Structure 1
Amino acid sequence: MKKKIALYSLFGLLFLVACSKDSDLLSNKNAQIDKSANLLGTGASANDLLANTEFDELLIEIGYVAGFQPTSLAIETLEAFIRQYTFKDNITVSYKQLPSPDEETLTLTEIVNLEKENRTAYNDGSTLALYIYFADAPTDSDDVGADIVTLGAVYQNTSMVIYESTIRNLVGNSSSVSVAEVEAATLNHEFGHLLGLVNLGTTAINDHEDPDADSHCTTDGCLMRAELQFGGPMMKLMQSNASKGLTPIPDLDAECILDLQGNGGR
């Protein structure tokens, strides 16, 4: 009987030791992921995104709710925009399909929590990581009656949300502007904020910040105009461009480009 007790004790000890080692390994693995550099304020990584001093590779992780994946054309347009205004030529895009949070609207706090649960890409060595979440629900601050719906937002230095369901509802059956074009315009606008525009981590060379809309440009037609983050005004501008034979997607004006160049951009 004493021998059996001794054996049971030995097996129990071995089991506990094994579990402890597995737990330690898991803890060490999680501890190796330093997320702090990706949890800063918007614009804090503007120079890192523009120049290749610290990071010469960019990894874009796209998390999307099933059925709300962005168009390939929109992502290709974003990559072209990045290469045009930054020195990031080595760009990798990864996709992760996610379940719906089953919410009618999403608060910014909920979006941040969804990122905490689902984001896997963080800065690693010479690779700078960016996270973009494509949501199946609108923001809780929309005022549909007043034609004020938000298409996208940035909320940390490497974090962005695109309200994909809102974009699709906005475009509807438009014959002059496509979902891909509105996605692309929204992505480029929000990425402009991550690049520090306007006066959001990238200092303005000349005064062109809208006094009535912080971090936005005063130049008519510029990608960084405040109305480009909202539905109705965005569609009007893009439809106007299309009617003139221009590309519907707005571009940066000379002042915004000058600002980016002053902070390490092309």
Structure 2
Amino acid sequence: MKKRKLFLPLMVMVFLFGCSSDNETNSGGTNVTIDKSANLLATGASANDLLSNNNFDQLLIEIAYVTGFRPTDEALENFENFLMQRTFKQNIQFSFNELPSPNEETLLLDEIVDLESENRTAYNQGGTLAIYIYFADAPADSDDESEGVVSLGAVYRNTSMVIYEKTLRDLVGNSVIVTVSDVETATLNHEFGHLFGLVNLGTTPVNDHEDPDAENHCVVNGCLMRAELQFGGTMMKAMESNTSKGLAAVPELDAECILDLQSNGGR
């Protein structure tokens, strides 16, 4: 029984890290070795483990957020529903880790990796697969606001992602139709689609539907994994267009992406 607690933008950053294990002291003063190697793999490497219950039947999602930039409860509930819909995980839990600001004007991905190394607390253990999501108070260093190119999120390991929460909120501040929770939901779902191995990023497509002009994104119109959701401005336009037509603001996965997930152990 499920326990509840309560887009790579949208670029795909593929990193491969070596094995790692650290000694930490538990509450009883005993050194405990934590093997982190299974959480330091390339993006998409844990797609089957996320989708199926073959090796892990529980999911623990660590929400690490800078003070003042915690995601909305509504977005996390929507995100949990998305995971329940597309995976066989029935036990999904969230833990929350409030962090001080790193006091950076922008963040390089290497800096985000360093912050994870310093602050992440949840790693795979037994039948529990752990995910780390960092909600940042600074934009991506690669953003170019003069060109309207801003990143809302990125995945960079098999169980790691960043959401540029300040950028997201600034973007939504200009809309009277789309809410912060809408954009948080779309970004979380899109990025997790990449952790699921979409598109051609660890989950082999049943049929060819990868956009030839946008690697690891779907070519089917309206799909959650479309490249048009890669950057804030175009993503907002797509969501506002959906809303104006009476459709749900947050795009869903198309039939081809769902077929790929089903072929790799998902629903």
**TM-score, normalised with respect to structure 2:** 0.89
The one-character-per-residue Cα deviations of 1:196-232 (angstroms, maximum 9, x if unpaired) are 0001010000000111211100011100011213100
Equivalence map 1:117-136=2 (5 Å): 117-136=118-137
Identity %: 70
Change in CA separation of 1:176 and 1:117 when aligned onto 2, cut-off 3 Å: same
The gaps in structure 2 that reach 5 residues or longer are 1-22
Could you tell me which residue of structure 1 aligns to residue 13 of structure 2? none
Change in CA separation of 1:214 and 1:30 when aligned onto 2, cut-off 3 Å: farther
Equivalence map 1:166-185=2 (5 Å): 166-185=167-186
Could you tell me which residue of structure 2 aligns to residue 85 of structure 1? 86
Could you tell me which residue of structure 2 aligns to residue 70 of structure 1? 71
Q: Which moved more, 1:157-166 or 1:27-36?
A: 27-36
Q: Does 1:201 align with 2:183?
A: no
Could you tell me which residue of structure 1 aligns to residue 19 of structure 2? none
> Amino acid of the residue matched to residue 171 of structure 2?
L
Is this contact kept in 2: 1:148–1:232, CA < 8 A?
Answer: yes
Is this contact kept in 1: 2:72–2:181, CA < 8 A?
Answer: yes
Is this contact kept in 2: 1:186–1:229, CA < 8 A?
Answer: no
Could you tell me which residue of structure 1 aligns to residue 50 of structure 2? 49
Name the SS of the counterpart of 2:113 in structure 1: helix
Name the SS of the counterpart of 2:259 in structure 1: helix
Change in CA separation of 1:262 and 1:104 when aligned onto 2, cut-off 3 Å: same
> Amino acid of the residue matched to residue 256 of structure 1?
C
The one-character-per-residue Cα deviations of 1:78-111 (angstroms, maximum 9, x if unpaired) are 1000000110110000111000000000000000
Q: Does 1:239 align with 2:240?
A: yes
**TM-score, normalised with respect to structure 1:** 0.89
Name the SS of the counterpart of 1:166 in structure 2: helix
Could you tell me which residue of structure 1 aligns to residue 4 of structure 2? none
Superposition RMSD on alpha carbons, in Å? 1.5
Q: Which moved more, 1:134-143 or 1:218-227?
A: 218-227
Equivalence map 1:116-265=2 (5 Å): 116-265=117-266
The whole-number CA distance in structure 2 between the counterparts of 1:25 and 1:32 is 6
> Amino acid of the residue matched to residue 255 of structure 2?
A
Is this contact kept in 2: 1:105–1:138, CA < 8 A?
Answer: yes
Task: Indicate the structure (1 or 2) with the bigger Cα radius of gyration.
Answer: 1
Is this contact kept in 2: 1:73–1:180, CA < 8 A?
Answer: yes
> Amino acid of the residue matched to residue 35 of structure 2?
D
Could you tell me which residue of structure 2 aligns to residue 102 of structure 1? 103
The whole-number CA distance in structure 2 between the counterparts of 1:242 and 1:110 is 36
Could you tell me which residue of structure 2 aligns to residue 5 of structure 1? none
Is this contact kept in 2: 1:189–1:229, CA < 8 A?
Answer: no
Bigger fraction of residues in helix: 1
Name the SS of the counterpart of 2:123 in structure 1: coil
Greater RCO (CA < 8 Å, at least 6 residues apart)? 2
Is this contact kept in 2: 1:133–1:160, CA < 8 A?
Answer: yes
